[in-house]
């Protein structure tokens, strides 16, 4: 009488496990990158603002500007732009999606900008200097 032979259990090899982990990790990274690059529109808040103060050194002068954009879903009211050195601008209302570009006074030291508005808006930013591109004015 012969005993029936036992079949070997089929265990995945280490190579297949590593390949599966690699594919799963790559998929997770791709999902993370897509989520960060294209955030959903449901994440916007009612009161939000973008402030971008820049100063560019030209050969004969200094060009400074402050871009203010309402990135929220509600109008911003009572916006105060403080350029420092006691220089300020006031904007009564800025509708959603609208952008304004302001110029600080010529004698300003151009160190920072502080923008406040109703709705809890309080942004403090230092001026940044864009990278000079070859062939562009001032480079």
Locus of tokens 């508005």: 117
Average pLDDT of span 100-127 = 93
Q: Which fold has domain 44-126?
A: Immunoglobulin-like (2.60.40)
- Whether pTM > 0.75 for this model: the answer is no
Across the chain, what does the average pLDDT equal?
Answer: 83
Distance CA 69, CA 99 (A): 4
pLDDT value at residue 108:
92
Give me the helices (H) in the chain, please: 14-37
Question: What pLDDT digit, counting tens, does each position of 12-21 carry?
Answer: 677 788 888 8
Residue 66: burial class (beta carbons within 10 Å; 0-12, 13-18, 19+) = buried
pLDDT value at residue 24:
87
Q: Which residues pair with 67 in a beta bridge?
A: 52, 101
Question: What pLDDT digit, counting tens, does each position of 55-105 carry?
Answer: 988 777 888 999 999 999 999 999 999 999 999 999 999 999 999 999 999
């Amino acid at each position: 009488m012969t005993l029936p032979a036992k079949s070997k259990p089929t265990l995945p090899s280490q190579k297949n496990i590593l390949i599966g982990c690699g594919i799963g990790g790559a998929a997770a990274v791709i999902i993370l990158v897509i989520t960060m690059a294209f955030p959903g529109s449901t994440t916007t808040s009612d009161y939000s603002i973008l402030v971008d103060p820049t100063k560019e050194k030209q050969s004969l002068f200094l060009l400074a500007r402050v871009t203010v954009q309402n990135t929220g879903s509600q109008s911003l009211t009572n916006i105060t732009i403080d350029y420092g050195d006691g220089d300020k601008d006031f904007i009564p209302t800025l509708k959603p999606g609208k952008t304004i570009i302001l110029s600080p006074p010529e004698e300003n030291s151009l160190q920072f900008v502080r923008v406040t508005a109703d709705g809890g808006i309080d942004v403090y930013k230092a001026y940044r200097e864009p990278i000079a591109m070859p062939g562009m004015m001032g480079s």
